[in-house]
Amino acid sequence: MKSITIKAIITSAILLFSSLSYAQDSAWPRSFTNADGSVTVIEHAPKRIISTSVSLTGTLLAMDTPLVGSAGAVKGEYFSQWDEVAKERGLTNLWPAGSVDLESAYAVEPDLIIVSLTGADSALEQVEEFRQIAPTVILDYSVQSWQDLAKQIGELTGQEQQVAEKLAEYERYVAQTKQTLVIPEGKANIISYHGAGMLNAIGRPQGAHAMLLSSLGFDIEAPNDAWQSSNARHRDFIRVHYENLSLLKGETTFLIEADEKKANEFMSNEVFINMPSVKNQQVFGLGLTSFRIDPYSARNIINNIAQQFAKNAE
């Protein structure tokens, strides 16, 4: 009886493994519609991915994809919020943004290459050459959140369930943090501050930074589109002349890619002396890694907000 039971267990395990393997295999090949409307056929679940866009790499890392290489930023560096993770995983730094090296792409033997449709780190012009190396897909990080990108990445890699679990974990973290905060009354605005003589940017309510702050309970002030001083249109921001920043009415201001020192410099500027947020001394830096929202910088921002607006800090 005992031997029959063991045999039955082994047989069931083999059948289960076979059914799982079949289910996994049957998911491939799959077709992916790229951001430019073209279609890429991916024959098998990728095991060696390269990212030609440093802006996409953080989300690829956070979703635990089999990423083996990535392009860097303009000077060749990785974003500081995930640089250590990239080192721990032995990621190959392929080339600086704008300087594609096809030999480096060949050398790491990828079975999937990911390209950005837009941005300074786009390698769109080399797509056909990349396709001679491996299946190549095109994503557009400029029109969607990192969460939506993560879902696309799950589709590309067959890791849909894993991505869903990670997104659910993130949402729980946001909800838990929100319960610990005291949110100031009134609206909050978001500024990418570069100083006099340059175009500065004000966050739109539908932008990535605004959606993150909204998820924590802040009410985001919409900038006046008439202030737009650039022909370039962006979902996340409008670009304005320096003086127009003083027209914002929100009681709280958040500065992108800024710390407490930069926030204090902003509040000491006489041009902004009549801004409600300056009068309230409620100007805060979102942190030095807050320029690009990815899973790592999003958590950095949340942790920063948690320290600045904690209930026990009253």
Number of domains in the chain: 2
The closest alpha carbon to 192, from 257, 284, 269, belongs to 257
Instruction: Quote the tokens at residue 34.
Output: 């790229």
Q: What does the angle CA 74 – CA 75 – CA 77 come to, to the nearest 5 degrees? A: 100
- Is residue 167 in a domain? no
Give the separation between CA 309 and CA 188, rounded to whole angstroms. Answer: 13
Domain boundary among 130, 160, 190: 160
Structural domain harbouring 121: 28-160
- Is residue 22 in a domain? no
pLDDT, tens digit, 9 for 90 and up, residues 229-284: 877 667 789 999 999 999 999 999 999 999 999 999 999 999 999 999 999 999 99
Structure-token match 């830096």, residue found: 285
- Is residue 11 in a domain? no
Classify 219 as helix, strand or coil. strand
Structure-token match 């059914």, residue found: 19
pLDDT, tens digit, 9 for 90 and up, residues 205-237: 999 999 999 999 999 999 999 999 877 667 789
The CATH number of residue 70's host domain is: 3.40.50.1980
Structure-token match 């994503």, residue found: 139
- Whole-structure pTM value: 0.88
Specify whether 152 is located in the same domain as 277. Answer: no
